């Protein structure tokens, strides 16, 4: 019987910086949530895009507790999915497939879009994105590097 060689997993903390190169989002502070199945990105003004029937356009506030800058993104909508949040409410959310970067790690991830303005983190990374890639140490933060939002999103961006 052939042995399967497992890839070593990287250790990440309870919060990490991530990026979405396909969406022109160079950095968003994310909460790592092993209790959540899917990942969720803060988005608002979600509407159909001029690119085609399965494309959507949406806006993102990438900086925590700030309304500026506003980044307008477009992506192909894979699906509309019913997601039950931690407060027990079920919401029908658009799902996009996009490249997610955490430190040196790049991979395709399904991400739901929802308004997270009232939440502490504009991005939540769930266990589907973490599966077979990472080990989460809740005593750590920024294992894949720290960022300065002022450099990521200079005034006027």
Q: What would the CATH number be for the domain defined by 17-136?
A: 2.40.70.10
Model pTM greater than 0.85?
Answer: yes
Quote the distance between the C-alpha of residue 54 and its chain's center. 20
Annotate 57-87 with b (16+ C-beta within 10 A) or e (fewer): bbebbbbeeeeebebebebbbeeeeebeeee
pLDDT digits (tens, 9 = 90+) for 4-42: 656 788 999 999 999 999 999 999 999 999 999 999 999
Token pair listed for 11: 């250790």
Q: pLDDT (tens digit, 9 = 90+) per residue, 35-74?
A: 999 999 999 999 888 887 899 999 999 988 888 999 999 9
Give the residue extent of every domain in the chain: 17-136
């Amino acid at each position: 019987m052939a042995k399967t060689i497992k890839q070593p997993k990287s250790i990440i903390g309870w919060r990490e910086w991530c990026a979405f190169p396909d969406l022109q989002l160079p950095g968003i502070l994310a909460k790592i949530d092993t209790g959540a199945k899917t990942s969720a990105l803060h988005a608002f003004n979600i509407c159909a895009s001029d690119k085609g029937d399965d494309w959507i356009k949406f806006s993102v506030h990438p900086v925590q507790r700030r309304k500026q800058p506003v980044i307008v993104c477009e992506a192909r909508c894979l699906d509309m999915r019913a997601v039950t949040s931690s407060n027990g409410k079920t919401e029908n959310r658009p799902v996009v497939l996009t490249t997610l970067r955490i430190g040196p790690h790049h991979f395709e991830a399904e991400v739901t879009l929802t308004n997270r303005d009232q939440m502490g983190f504009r991005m939540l990374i769930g266990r589907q994105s973490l599966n077979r890639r990472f080990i989460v140490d809740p005593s750590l933060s920024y294992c894949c590097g720290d960022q300065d939002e002022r450099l990521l999103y200079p005034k006027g961006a």
